[in-house]
Chains A and B, each alone.
Chain A
Amino acid sequence: MANLTREDILKLAKLSRLKLSDAEVEEFTAEISEILQYVQMLDDVDTTGLKPTYQVTGLTNVSRPDEISDYGISQEDLLKNLPARDKNYIKVRKML
């Protein structure tokens, strides 16, 4: 399971929306396999009766009133970092 193939890496890259160079594909195939082999030490750990921990301080369902707050940030401030813009719209490439 932990020995990844070139095809596995290409599939992961696709899922991750990453384009990789041939050199990267080769390096990642070896490196990520090695890292996954290292973490396999967890396979044999007995965790009978234990539940996973996703939040360490025990907070659950933190909610807030659904009200509009003014954080003092203008629309212009939020739009100033757009790579491509048309008036107040985010301009993106065509989908197909």
Chain B
Amino acid sequence: MDTWAPIADIAAAVNDGKTTASENVEKALQNIEDKAEFKAIISLTADRARKRAKQIDEHVKSGKPAGRLAGVPFIAKDNFLTFGGETTAASNILKGFNAPYQSTAVENLEAEGAICVAKANLDAFAHGSSTENSDFFTTLNPHDKTRVPGGSSGGSAAAVVLGMAPFALGSDTGGSIRLPASFTGCVGYKPTYGLVSRSGVVAMASSLDCIGPFARTVSDAAIVLDVMSGKDPLDSTTIERSKNSYTDLELDVEGKTIGIIKEYMGEGLEPEVRKLIDAGVEKLKNAGAVIKEVSLPSLPLALAVYYIICPAEVSSNLSRYDGQRFGYSDLDAKTLEESYEMSREKGFGREAKRRIMIGTYVLSSGYYDAYYKKAQTVRTKLINEFSAAFKEVDFLLGPTAPSTAFKIGENVDDPLKMYLIDIMTVAANLVGVPSISVPCGMVEGLPVGLQLMAAQTCDRELLSLAKAFEELNV
């Protein structure tokens, strides 16, 4: 199977007339077909992709450049609203849904000539860490078909690693980009909260949701981020982007201070994963980085905070699926009340129901203060600890996950055990800081990801360090 050139080179070749967007789209569709057994893809947007490719090729033929991502195919997680096919969020309740508009992230990519060719599998509504909660099927890990690719954006991660497209889009509410990047061996980037618009992405937990890219290299992830980011009137939580390009990366790590997160390096971390992280730290140290150990004492509370705030916001966001305006509706219902209950009963899977119930509980009168308000206050404590840490160090470092990819079925009967897989990723979402998972080596044929974080809005600096690490780790 053909692999892909760096994204900037693919676009340059299209703009120079050396290759065509149509050839790239056909190559992506062929690669998707060749790797269908991994079940990374829910649906193709082939007709629209071919049409757009033709337009781009005609545009180039007429002598005009077609953008920074001219003719670059990509795959969107199926919770991004896109034209050219259904958007399901891997849920039965949205099966058959045809988006009336596209997500801003996809619009921004298309404006620079990128072409969406397919929609990737996920845990339904992005609730999960393995894609096993998809209402349709489980995606297989590209390195071992008996293992999960991580989640919730497992289809997007697998698609990139399998070479289906040069990049893919994911969403990250508690680790849903970084965890699958770690489990499959690609780069996964969660930007600063608000840097990329969520307009047109199926909402999960709005104070945590972030949009970001999967790619094979940090440079590829950076160019995608650069095109997607910025203020959007359709998402009032978006923030100003940096005036400098996110592709303008500074590779010198000399004198940069990196804090190793003490709480992530102890109990629960597999020894072989730890060895690789330690080796990665050593490389950064040898390149001139100043390494310190940093303690964030409230980190062991982060998962508990997350599993109050997240379901609370989920229960609110999923109330819109009422069977009346879009999505699955049980037409056997006799009354409106029955229509709500029956549509939601059949349309939602087990995990969506579980989270709606937990969320309803922690928000209900009498428990609101004890759970929801308490969690949001401990969140403040965590934010304060991160702020203090970033006065001491430029970056934080740890593993992305405590282990490599687990077996399909291993954790499905124990929701709490499944939740614990996110233990090292949720803090970045609670605090709103950017975080990246970069490949750091393999343990028994399975990839391990190294996680880096920086202070809010230091996305360019974080991508710079990640790229420097990538080059040191070759």
A interface with B by C-beta (< 8 Å): 1, 4, 9, 12-13, 15-20, 24, 28, 31-32, 34-36, 38-43, 45, 47, 50-57, 59, 62, 64, 71, 73, 77-78, 80-84, 90, 92-96
What's the dominant secondary structure at chain A's contact region?
loop
Known: A9-B357, A50-B377, A92-B336. A19 touches B419 (CB 8 A): no
Residue pair B356, A83 in contact (C-beta under 8 Å): no
Residue pair A15, B358 in contact (C-beta under 8 Å): no
CB neighbours of B193 from chain A (8 A):
56-57
The one of B237, B327, B336 in contact with A94, judged by C-beta atoms closer than 8 angstroms, is B336
Interface residues of B in 358-393 (CB under 8 A from A): 358, 360-361, 364, 367, 370-371, 373-381, 383-384
In angstroms, Cα B351 to Cα A24, docked, is: 11
Q: Does B98 contact A (CB under 8 A)?
A: yes
In angstroms, Cα B96 to Cα A82, docked, is: 11
B interface with A by C-beta (< 8 Å): 97-98, 100-101, 192-194, 207, 233, 236-237, 239, 298, 301, 304-305, 307-308, 315, 319, 322-329, 331, 333-342, 344-345, 348, 350, 353-354, 356-358, 360-361, 364, 367, 370-371, 373-381, 383-384, 415-416, 419, 430-432, 456
User: 10 extra interchain contacts, Cβ-Cβ under 8 A, other than A17-B319, A18-B341, A20-B345?
Assistant: A1-B370, A12-B361, A19-B345, A36-B358, A52-B376, A53-B379, A56-B430, A59-B237, A83-B325, A93-B336
Residue pair A93, B357 in contact (C-beta under 8 Å): no
Known: A17-B341, A42-B375. A31 touches B415 (CB 8 A): yes
**Residue of B236, B357, B377 most packed against chain A (CB within 10 A):** B357
Residue pair B101, A81 in contact (C-beta under 8 Å): no
The one of B301, B326, B374, B419 in contact with A35, judged by C-beta atoms closer than 8 angstroms, is B419
Residue pair A35, B358 in contact (C-beta under 8 Å): yes
Residue pair B356, A18 in contact (C-beta under 8 Å): yes
Residue pair B338, A50 in contact (C-beta under 8 Å): no
The 5 closest A-B pairs by CB, nearest first: A56-B432, A52-B376, A83-B329, A81-B326, A77-B100
Residue pair B339, A12 in contact (C-beta under 8 Å): no
In angstroms, Cα B337 to Cα A96, docked, is: 8
A-B contact pairs, 30 of them (CB 8 A): A9-B357, A16-B344, A17-B344, A18-B341, A24-B353, A28-B357, A32-B361, A34-B416, A36-B361, A38-B416, A39-B307, A39-B371, A41-B304, A42-B304, A42-B308, A43-B374, A47-B374, A50-B381, A52-B373, A52-B377, A53-B383, A55-B207, A56-B207, A56-B383, A59-B194, A77-B101, A80-B100, A82-B326, A84-B331, A92-B324
